[in-house]
Amino acid sequence: MASVLKIILQRLALGLLTLLVVSMVIFGAVNLLPGDFAQAILGQGATQEAVEAIRDEIGLNDPFFKRYFDWLGALATGDLGVSYAQMMFATGMGGTTELIPITTQIAPRFYNTMFLAGLTALIAVPVSLLIGVLAALYRGSVFDRVANIFTLSSISSPEFFLAYILILFLAVQGQMLPSLAAVEVGMPLGARIYNSLLPALTLTLVVTAHMMRMTRAAIINLLASPYIEMARLKGVRPMRVIVKHALPNALAPIINVIALNLAYLITGVVVVEVVFTYPGIGNLFVDAVQNRDIPVVQVCCLIFAAAYILLNLTADILSIVTNPRLRHPK
Amino acid sequence: MADQSEWLVEMRGIHMEGRSDETWTPIIKGVDLTLKRGEVLGLIGESGAGKSTLGLAAMGFTRDGVRISQGSVTFDGIDLISASAETKRQLLGKRIAYVAQSAAASFNPAHRLIDQHAEAPVQHGVKRRSEAEADAVDLYRKLRLPNPDEIGFRYPHQVSGGQLQRAMTAMAMACRPDLIIFDEPTTALDVTTQIEVLAAIREIVAEFDTAAIYITHDLAVVAQMADRIKVLLKGDEVEEAETRQMLSNPQQDYTKSLWAVREFQRPQKPAPAVDATPVVSVQGVTAAYGKIDVLHDVSFDIHQGRTVAVVGESGSGKSTTARCITGLLPPRKGQIELDGAALPLDYRNRSKEQLRQVQMIYQMADTALNPRQTIGEIIGRPVEFYMGLRGGARRKRVEDLLEQIELPASQYIDRLPSELSGGQKQRIGIARALAAEPKFIICDEVTSALDQLVAEGILRLLARLQDELKLSYMFITHDLATVKSIADEVVVMKDGVVVELGPKTEMFTPPHHAYTDLLLSSVPDMDPDWLTRLLAERGIENIGDAAVGKMH
């Protein structure tokens, strides 16, 4: 177990390093974007003086590296900064209103995104595993083919299309679920789930195919191994052969695919959030990019990067922990 | 003809087919097999003879891509061909059990031994979980596994190969089946481990009066285990007889040829001159993987035109010594001399001429040949690299080499390795080594993966080449029969140390070093009473690994 702990610490340190590199890439890339906040907010008819004044005020005229290290230093102390839009709003009010930092701005959005991702995962992971196991058990059968065709066509369709199909059937015709995913702070859990169910179902359709197909493939890959033949020759029931003998040895690749898909649920949900006007990070991100609100864009990117790194780290660790050779050394 | 009800297993006119590229090709071509209660039938033949396929068919089981096209299989009155999957499942594990060749691969790595042991009895409703576990410990004790109370709670990777093989036999016994199929259960084991497993299997099969089909390619092993022997060749039955009769008086030519393989013996060459410079001299070599020393002060000489066999069990340092000589693993201490001159320890510092003199032939010809290159390219490469021949001269040389290894050049030069048989591939490996025109060739278990007849052909070829080209061989093997047939000198290794060294004739005449003695005594003879006699002479505690343990 000590070795596992060592590996975890190593990976965490590596993750932090990756995050640092990502922060450089983000900062560099965002600075390469044409136009800036001053131009975006003042529009095409802005005078050069007005643009310069705003640039001075929010520090856009400082040298590149000074800005980067200022930002990095603030990040390290937990200060995510203040969005430009907030700053301008505050100046416009004569500097009397208090500045709302990005942390406060993002927190509820972040919670909403995590909630949607979590709800989707709770539905999608067990469903995909179950379909994957059944497809492996009855491979080549009608069930296997239908499952494959269904999941493949849902992953191949654009997300907004799936979203509208679900809205059509479940909200418009079925009248079972609300088509607008309005969630607010302080809502009771049940209502929150009810309101988020349509986007969660849409996302489930998107991520199921990968996980289900990997489960099926990883299990079938093992079915030719001698210990599976041995289990069959002991007269073990086919379902038990798969669940008890194949699945535990197939976990590592499955876990990795699940982690990738969970990361997608946090970072790739922009379209679905927009369709259902769900107040998550994706929506905020799109607005910020449109306004060239650089501090917000950077923080969103960092959150996405951290989500990827953390989930992959978790997948690595789980793969190690599910390997009996590492759990029970000689 | 025995009364119908007397047969536990009755297979009649079995034809089996295997699918390759959408066509079905016959594997078994009309074989009958019958087995009485409590009887042990030995099934022998070369690889590809259909032994395992037939053995599995006796359980009503076929692997993917194999089918029984004709014939009947009856087990205790139950027709296994027409029985439903559920009926067969009820029999498997409960009344018919299976012991696989590689226990290491056939135990599920994710579960403890005892969980896997208890699975069949609990699933079939024969025993409750606690009873099954208690019984497992009992069986482990009977099979003389170390720490029987505790060993079941380990995972497969925590237990050695020989122990796993016994644990698997225990697992097969869990429901006290009427029939066990043993599919080459000792082939992957060292001789000292094999003898323990054989003794354990024989004892427990006798104790519970279990009928068994014992599949193997090793005649001496089957002679110890079986009441009757059936010989298969390419899916056909050659002959069947009581063990003693089969051994003393085989009827068919094929069977006789199998028996004769062990007769090939090279006469011992006269000792080399005292002042002769050895071709290769290994001097005080100590080598390590990482920080752990695996070879300790190994020294021996190999003279021109002679074969030095290096024997020992897996992990004894045979192949590591070869890696030191080739310079792949530079020794930590000591040196390697070629014709009296010290070789640089790392192969990267050796000249092309020095590299040319030392060549290797590998155990797995399959993986040692590039599957994408033709035979001409494989052999042509060292011809060009070492001898500088190109174009027509290169092709001429490759053709000569193919003639030397007895493969007609016109037929083989443009083939791919996948179009050759195992023995032919090994010949290509030999030709590739010869292409460099070396003085010295390391043969690393070159016959271990081959059937006996094919292996003998390779040994004869190597012997002929040695006489013609004055080659020196270092012959790494764990098979003492091979040593007997071709070696001039023998080096016995154990745990990275040379324990005994000398001319072959001396090695095979007592008195031996205790370890050599144990190795020699563990090789089964073609005498059905050999194991019984050995057990009577030495006692169960003084054979095999148990005896090795006492040597420390």
Which residues on A lie below 8 Å from B123 (Cβ)?
234-237, 240
Q: DSSP secondary structure string, A65-85?
A: HHHHHHHHHHHHTT-----HH
Quick one: average pLDDT of A195-217?
Answer: 91
Are B1-92+227-258 and B280-509 the same fold in CATH?
Answer: yes
DSSP string, B396-413: HHHHHHHHHTT--HHHHT
How many Cβ atoms are within 10 Å of A330's Cβ, its own excluded? Answer: 8
Q: A254 in contact with B at a CB cutoff of 8 Å?
A: no
Which residues in A110-121 are b (16+ Cβ under 10 Å) and which e?
bebbebbbebbb
Q: Residue B186 region, left (φ>0) first, then alpha (ψ -120 to 50), else beta?
A: alpha
- What digits encode the pLDDT tens for the residues A147-184? 999 999 998 988 889 999 999 998 888 888 888 877 87
Question: Which of B106, B124, B154 faces A230 most closely, judged by CB atoms?
Answer: B106
| Residues of B in Cβ contact (< 8 Å) with A224 | 64
Locate B235 and state its tokens.
């899916």
Backbone angles phi, psi at B20, to 5 degrees: -135, 125
Residues contacting residue A122 through CB under 8 Å, at least 6 positions apart: none
Question: Is A234 touching B (CB cutoff 8 A)?
Answer: yes
* Contact call for B100 and A235, based on CB within 8 A: no
- Residue in B closest to A246 by C-alpha: B108
pLDDT on residue B1: 44
Looking at per-residue pLDDT, the higher value among B286 and B536 belongs to: B286
B1-92+227-258 topology per CATH: Rossmann fold (3.40.50)
From A112's Cα to the closest Cα of chain B, the distance in A is 38
Question: CA of B461 to nearest chain A CA: how many angstroms apart?
Answer: 36
Which one of B107, B108, B113, B123 makes the best mutation probe of the A interface by having the most chain A beta carbons within 10 Å? B108
- With cut-offs at 50, 70 and 90, classify the pLDDT of residue A93: low
From the list B203, B202, B237, the residue with the least C-alpha distance to B221 is: B202
How do residues B174-215 score in pLDDT, each as one tens digit?
999 999 999 988 877 788 888 888 888 888 888 888 999 999
Q: Do B157 and A325 touch (CB under 8 A)?
A: yes
> 3-state DSSP call for residue B345?
coil
Task: Say which residues have a Cβ less than 8 Å from residue B146's Cβ, sequence separation at least 6.
Answer: B163
pLDDT digits (tens, 9 = 90+) for B31-63: 999 999 889 999 988 877 888 899 999 999 998
ipTM: 0.77
B107/A227 Cβ within 8 A:
yes
Interface of B to A at Cβ within 8 Å reads 59, 61, 63-64, 88-94, 97-98, 100, 102, 105-111, 119-120, 123-124, 154-155, 157-158, 171
Q: Enumerate residues 6+ apart whose C-beta is below 8 A from A28.
A: none
A252, A224, A241: which is closest to B116 by C-alpha?
Answer: A241
State the nearest Cα–Cα gap between A68 and chain B, in angstroms: 45
Q: Is A56 on the interface with B (CB under 8 A)?
A: no
Contacts of A231 in chain B (CB under 8 A): 108, 119
Return the closest-CA partner of residue B182 out of B196, B166, B163, B193.
B166
Distance from C-alpha of A93 to C-alpha of B234, rounded to nearest angstrom: 95
- Residue A37's pLDDT is 73
d(CA B318, CA B497): 10
- What's residue B552's pLDDT? 53
Name the residue among B61, B123, B158 with its Cβ closest to that of A328: B158
What distance in Å separates the CA atoms of residue B17 and residue B57, rounded to the nearest whole number? 12
- Beta-carbon separation of A330 and B158 below 8 A: yes
Give the mean pLDDT of B119-128: 92
Which pLDDT belongs to residue B5? 61
Residue A330: pLDDT band with limits 50, 70, 90: low
* Residue numbers in B near A249 (CB within 8 A): 108-110
B110 vs A226, A324, A330: nearest CB: A324
**Closest alpha carbon to B164 in B219, B108, B221:** B108
**The 3-state secondary structure of A140-173, one letter per residue:** CCHHHHHHHHHHHHHHHCCHHHHHHHHHHHHHHH
Better-predicted residue by pLDDT, B527 or B42: B42
Q: Which comes out higher in pLDDT, residue A203 or A56?
A: A203
CATH code for B280-509?
Answer: 3.40.50.300
pLDDT score of B17 more than 60 = yes
Contact B97 A234 (CB under 8 A): yes
Q: Which architecture characterizes domain A108-290 according to CATH? A: Orthogonal Bundle (1.10)
Query: CB B123 to CB A237 under 8 A?
Result: yes
Q: CA B440 to CA B453: how far, in whole Å?
A: 26
**Is 60 exceeded by the pLDDT of residue A96?**
no
Chain B contact for A330 (CB, 8 A cutoff): yes
Domain layout of chain B by residue ranges: 1-92+227-258, 280-509
CA distance A320 to A252: 8
- Contacts of B129-136 with C-beta under 8 Å, sequence gap 24+, read B132/B174, B135/B174, B136/B170, B136/B174
CA distance, residue A225 to nearest chain B CA (Å)? 8
Backbone angles phi, psi at B83, to 5 degrees: -65, 150
Look at the block and give the residue holding tokens 């027709």.
B79
Interchain contact, B157 vs A324, CB within 8 Å: yes
d(CA A212, CA A217): 9
CA distance B359 to B179: 49
Given a contact cutoff of 8 angstroms between Cβ atoms, the answer to whether B305 and B323 are in contact is: no
Q: What is the DSSP string of B47-106?
A: TTSSHHHHHHHTTT---TTEEEEEEEEEETTEETTTS-HHHHHHHBTTTEEEE-S-HHHH
Q: How far is residue B42's CA from residue B211's CA, in Å, rounded to a whole number?
A: 11
| Nearest chain A residue to B168, by CA | A230
A325 and B63 within 8 Å at the Cβ level: the answer is no
Q: How crowded is the C-beta side of A46, counted as CA atoms within 13 Å?
A: 18
Residue B2 predicted with pLDDT over 50: no
- Domain segments of chain A as ranges: 1-100+294-330, 108-290
pLDDT value, residue B420: 86
Please give the backbone phi and psi of residue A322, each rounded to the nearest 5 degrees, phi first. -80, -5
Closest Cα of chain B to A287: distance in Å? 50
pLDDT in tens, B426-466: 999 999 999 999 999 999 988 887 877 788 889 999 999 99
Q: How many A/B residue pairs have CB atoms within 8 Å?
A: 77
The residue with greater pLDDT, A328 or B297, is B297
Q: What is the mean pLDDT of residues A198-209?
A: 91
Chain A: residue whose CA lies nearest to B59:
A233
Is cis: bond before A295, omega within 30 of 0?
A: no
Of A235, A240, A330, the CB nearest to B124: A235
Min mean pLDDT across A175-184, A230-239, B53-62, B400-409 is at A175-184
Highest average pLDDT, of A70-84, A309-323, B431-445, comes from B431-445
Rounded Cα distance between B43 and B49, Å, is 10
| Residue B124: closest C-alpha in chain A | A235
Q: Which of A222, A225, A232, A233 has the most B C-beta neighbours within 10 Å, making it the best mutation to test the interface with B?
A: A233
Q: Which residue has the tokens 């093992």?
A: A222
Select the residue of A235, A244, A245 nearest B93 (Cβ to Cβ): A235
pLDDT tens readout for residues B69-116: 999 999 988 898 888 989 999 999 999 999 998 888 899 999 999 999
Option in B93, B154, B155 nearest A233 (CB) = B93
Inter-chain CB proximity B105 and A226 less than 8 Å: yes
* Chain B neighbors of A330, CB-CB under 8 A: 157-158
Q: How confident is the model at residue A271 (pLDDT cuts 50, 70, 90)?
A: confident
Name the helix (H) or strand (E) containing B283. strand B280-289
Picking from B62, B87, B106, B213 by the largest number of A CB atoms within 10 A of its own CB, the best residue to mutate is B106
**Are B59 and A235 an interchain contact pair (Cβ–Cβ within 8 Å)?**
no
Verify whether the Cβ–Cβ distance A249 to B109 is below 8 Å: yes
Report pLDDT for A1.
57
Are A230 and B107 inside 8 Å of each other by CB?
A: yes
Does the pLDDT of residue A47 top 90, yes or no?
Answer: no
> Percent of chain B having pLDDT more than 70?
97
Interface residue A140 vs chain B (CB under 8 A) = no
* pLDDT score for B261: 58
Lowest pLDDT segment from A112-121, B306-315, B521-530: B521-530
What is the SS3 assignment for B521?
A: helix
Q: Which residue of A has its CA nearest to B108?
A: A227
Residue A39, pLDDT above cutoff 90: no
- The alpha carbon of residue A316 is apart from the nearest alpha carbon of chain B, in Å, by 18
- H or E, element range at B309: strand B307-311
The C-alpha atoms of residue B1 and residue B12 are separated, in whole angstroms, by 14
Residues B500 and B319: beta-carbon distance below 8 Å: no
Q: What is the pLDDT of residue A95?
A: 55
The C-alpha atoms of residue B361 and residue A132 are separated, in whole angstroms, by 46
pLDDT of residue B526: 80
Report chain B's mean pLDDT, rounded to a whole number.
88
Tokens coding A204: 């489930």
